[in-house]
Chain A
Amino acid sequence: MKLNSAKPLVRSVDSQASSCAMPATILLVEDEPITRASMAARLKRFGYRVLEIDNGLEALEMARRERPDLIVVDWMMPGMDGPTFCETLRRDPAMKSTYLLLMTARDQPAQIAEGLARGADDFLSKATSKDEIRARVLAGLRTSRLVRELEATAEKLESSLLLLQTKQAEMNADLQSAASFVHSLLPPQGSPIPGIALAWEYQPSLTLGGDLFDVMAIDKDHLGLYILDASGHGVAAALRSAALMTFLRAENILQMLGSYDPERVLFEANRRFPMSADGEYFTLWVGQLHLPTGRLTYAAAGHPGALLCSAEDPSRWLTRASFPLGIDPSAEFASDRVLLKPGDRLFLLSDGIYEVPSPSGELWGRGRFQAVIDAEKLRPLSATVAACFAEARSWQQAQHFSDDAAVMGLALTEYQEEKSHG
């Protein structure tokens, strides 16, 4: 039976402490009317809003509806007794943190233990003093307020986490889409151009990488090729790399410079891509291959170089010391030349493939990379490239690279011979 009712109010823990704050609500569950009236009067005098009910079942319903700050419940009641009420309320996820004061004339340790085990937070003796009642109720309300604040914080955290997860999923989808796009810019493997076999592998350290490379026909006799490496990783590096890649497209360079002369390409790129405000820059290796003669002209801007591997001779690095792009706006980049023979292989690579540490901290290094290239020179080009990655992973004992790692292998086929004889 519901004995009184009041609309839910905004609550404060100690309603006596502030005249403008709304009082905390206490649900009093007691079947014996004199005790109930006495306790209700006392709690009201303390300044609380008191809801009274004389049985456990209806009290459950009222507790769920009114969400009181604290419940005082009698132990012995017909129907549902106090401990059963506590137990039932604790099983309800929405009510499990409600503060429960079990009111009883029983004060034996075993009974107190039973009450606590079945869900009560504290006890209140019916014969206790006014000061003790006030102290226990205040302590209960403080706990209740803290628990509710924690619950509210947890709810906020959970919704923030969900929002973050949604945003993260959207961002990941965007990154995957961007990565697919960047991947589509890389040259097709196999024989993209007559006279050339191509194989590459690229492992960005994040979804998007800052290394890009390409091989393209400049005209019927010339190939342009490059590999660029943006400092830093991730989206910012990828965007800067994409801008430089656009600049390096054959049509753009031919329109701007009239040829794919590596010296001039680097000079112009150096002028157009200064170091960023936060110190980011590029290294770049550019080559132009004259297919009829096999003459490769190349130049580098701070890049560690390409590796030339021929069937007869030991492999050698094609590079010379130079600044990265954007350091000195007036820098010039001298080119070198070398003659490639059919069957020769040229590997363009980023330092991320060999600057991998073992678990003890020792770098794999250029020498070991070069040794793999030499050891694998008779195997198919794609197998050689794959072996580089396998050895690097084995050295660092990890699949993932901490820097973007790229190797593009290019082999001259017999086409050049056919062309030169034709």
Chain B
Amino acid sequence: MDSPVVLDLSEALNQADGDRDLVITLAGLFLQESPKEVAAARASLARQDRDGLVAAAHKLKGSVIPICAPRLFERAKQLEELGLQGDFAEAEAVCADVERLLAEVHAALRKLIAGGFPS
């Protein structure tokens, strides 16, 4: 089975009912907003704040849905669950994964904004 792609543009476009401009707008918003949530998750981890970690991971997870980044979604979801369980040790590792995947998604989104949809 192939590993999920960083960004499923076809599905993102489908969710936007074929509206390319909307996908570009959502991509710009994601670039702007998602670092705040990851930073909030990281800060919550540092102070072992379960509620803060859950809220930040949940918000990040929700924001990933419209842009269709499946790996980042799964990791954000995992981070939220670990927060609910209070497993901060495992959450540290997952949060690092989230940061790495977020960087990949950001790169893909910047490419999309700069170059548009592949023909």
* A is bound by B: yes
Q: Which residue of A lies closest to B22 (CB)?
A: A41
Given A76-B59, A105-B58: A35 and B16 interface contact (C-beta under 8 Å):
no
> Would you call A32 an interface residue if the criterion is a C-beta within 8 Å of the partner chain's C-beta atoms?
yes
> Would you call B29 an interface residue if the criterion is a C-beta within 8 Å of the partner chain's C-beta atoms?
yes
Q: How many residues of B contact A (CB 8 A)?
A: 19
Distance of B68 from chain A, by nearest CB (Å): 10
Q: How many residues of A contact B (CB 8 A)?
A: 17
Distance of B116 from chain A, by nearest CB (Å): 19
Q: Mark B59-98, 1 if CB is under 8 A from A, else 0.
A: 1011101110000000000000000000000000000000
> Would you call A37 an interface residue if the criterion is a C-beta within 8 Å of the partner chain's C-beta atoms?
yes
Given A37-B25, A37-B29, A76-B55: A32 and B17 interface contact (C-beta under 8 Å):
no
Complex Cα distance A45/B21, Å? 13
Q: Is the CB of A37 within 8 A of B26?
A: yes
In this complex, the member of A35, A45, A126 whose beta carbon has the largest number of chain B beta carbons within 10 angstroms is A35
> Would you call B33 an interface residue if the criterion is a C-beta within 8 Å of the partner chain's C-beta atoms?
yes
Q: Which residue of B lies closest to A35 (CB)?
A: B62
Q: Which residue of B lies closest to A45 (CB)?
A: B17
Residues of B within 8 A of A127 (CB): 65
Q: Is the CB of A38 within 8 A of B15?
A: yes
Residues of A within 8 A of B33 (CB): 32-34
> Would you call A359 an interface residue if the criterion is a C-beta within 8 Å of the partner chain's C-beta atoms?
no
Complex Cα distance A101/B25, Å? 25
Point out residues on B near A: beta carbons under 8 Å.
15-17, 19, 22, 25-26, 29-30, 33, 55, 58-59, 61-63, 65-67
Beyond contacts A31-B59, A34-B33, A38-B16: 13 other A-B pairs, Cβ-Cβ < 8 A, are A33-B63, A34-B67, A35-B62, A35-B65, A37-B22, A37-B25, A37-B29, A37-B66, A38-B22, A42-B17, A105-B58, A126-B62, A127-B65
